[in-house]
Amino acid sequence: MPQQLQGRLRLPIISAPMFLGSGVDLVVGACRAGVVGTFPALNLRTTEDFDGWLTQIETALAQPGPDGREPAPYGVNFIVHSSNKRIEADLAQIVAHEVPLVITSLGAAKEVVDAVHSYGGLVFHDVTNARFARKAAEAGVDGLILVSAGAGGHAGGINPFALISEVRTVWDGPLILGGALSTGRDVLAAQAAGADLAYMGTRFLATEESLVSEGYRDMIVGSGAEQIVYTPSISTIPANFLRGSIVAAGLDPDNLPVPDKVDLGHVTNPHAEEEAPSSSPAPKAWKDVWSAGQSVAGITSVVPVAQLVDQLEAEYTQAKGELLAVIGG
Ligand SMILES: Cc1cc2nc3c(=O)[nH]c(=O)nc-3n(C[C@H](O)[C@H](O)[C@H](O)COP(=O)(O)O)c2cc1C
C-alpha cells in the first residue's frame, strides 16, 4: 500500500470512476465513509466545470467525517491520449488542486507522473494485460489497477488470477484489483490474491448518490451475471452492458453488429455522442445502453453510500473471522 494511503482508509477500497455515474455526492460520500472516492475528469464537459467539481469536493472534504474521522483521499480519472483535447488544461487543474490520486487510462506518460509527483500525489494506471502493465511501470506509476474480466465499463478479458500472475512477472509494486467485486468478502479475497486495494465500480453505481437513473439502478439490482453482455458493438471497444438496456434501446443482444474499427472518441471525447441530435437513430452508449459488470450478481439493494461502506465493513470482518477459523492464524 502506498504510504500516502496508509492509515487513511477504513477499508482497502477505491470507488472506481464511472462516466455519467460518479459525481460530487458519490465521491464525497465515499471519502467521508472512509474509502477512496473517484470520478472521471471527462464527466464534465469543460475544464472550468472540472475545476468547479474539484473545488466542491475539496470544500466538502475539509470537514471531518462522521465520528470525527478524517475523510479518505479522493481521486480523478484522467485520459492520457493525444485525442483528449483537454489534456493540458485538465492536468493544470489536477496540479493546481493537488488531486491526491490520479488514475490514468489509455496512456501512461512520464510527464503526467512527474507533474503529479511534484506535489506528492499518487498515479495509478489501469491495465487489462501485462504488455500495458510493463509500459506503465516504465512511466514510473505508483500502482497498477488490473481491470479483469467481468468488470463494468471497458473490461478486460482475462481472469483476475491469471492477470495477477502475468502482471507480477513485470511489476512488484502496489496492485489494485477490479472486476466483479461486490461484497466485503470479495475485498478480502482480492487481498488474499495479492492486491493492496479493491477497485469497485458497479457496486457503487447502485447507491443513492450515484448520478444514474432509478431505472438503471433497479436494473442492476434485478440482473444476474448472465444478463451482462460483453460486446464491442456499443462503444467499438469491448465493454459490459446490461442486457435489458440493450433490448430497451431496440437492439438484439444476441445479434449485435460488429464495428469495423475502434473509435477511441468514445473514451476521449465521450460527450460528443451524447450530444448527437436526438433524431439520430443510434442508441447512445452509457446514456441509453447502460454499462455494468458481472458484480450485479452480488448486488441486491440500492443504499446510501455510507450504509454500503458499513455493510462492506461488516461483510469483510465476518469473512475474515470465518477464513481464520478455516486456515488458522
Ligand atoms: C457505468 C460505468 C462507467 C465507467 N466509466 C469509466 C470511466 O469513465 N473511466 C474509467 O477509467 N473507468 C470507467 N469504468 C470502469 C470502472 O472504473 C471500473 O474499472 C469497473 O467498474 C470495475 O469493475 P466492476 O464494475 O465490476 O466493479 C466505468 C464502469 C461503469 C460501470
DSSP H or E run through 220: helix 214-222
* DSSP labels, 107-120: ---HHHHHHHHTTT
Tens digits of residue pLDDT in 156-204: 999 999 999 999 999 999 999 999 999 999 999 999 999 999 999 999 9
Q: Does 212 sit in the ligand 1 pocket, CB within 6 Å?
A: no
Residue 228 has pLDDT above 90, yes or no: yes
Are 249 and 140 within one domain? no
Domain at 110, CATH number: 3.20.20.70
Based on the domain organization, do 290 and 310 belong to the same domain?
no
Q: Region 234-242: what's the mean pLDDT?
A: 93
Residue 106 CB less than 6 A away from ligand 1: no
Kindly state if the Cβ of 183 falls inside 6 Å of ligand 1: no
Number of domains comprising the chain: 2
Q: Write b or e for each residue in 133-166: b if 16 or more Cβ atoms lie within 10 A of its Cβ, otherwise e.
A: bebbbebebbbbbbbbbbbbbbbbebebeebbeb
160 lines ligand 1 (CB under 6 A): no
pLDDT tens-digit series, residues 100-152 = 999 999 998 999 999 999 999 999 999 999 999 999 999 999 999 999 999 99
Q: Label residue 57 by pLDDT band (50, 70, 90).
A: very high
Res 245: pLDDT:
97
Range of the domain at 75: 3-210+300-327
The pLDDT value given to residue 279: 56
Q: Which residue has the higher pLDDT, 8 or 83?
A: 8
**Same domain flag for 204 and 253:** no
Q: Give tens-digit pLDDT for 21-43.
A: 999 999 999 999 999 999 999 99
Same domain (yes/no): 116, 150 = yes
CA 18–ligand 1 middle distance (angstroms): 5
Q: What is the pLDDT of residue 114?
A: 98
pLDDT band of residue 269 (cuts 50, 70, 90) is confident
The answer to whether residues 91 and 195 belong to one domain is yes
Q: Do residues 52 and 124 both lie within one domain? A: yes
In a domain, 215, yes or no: no
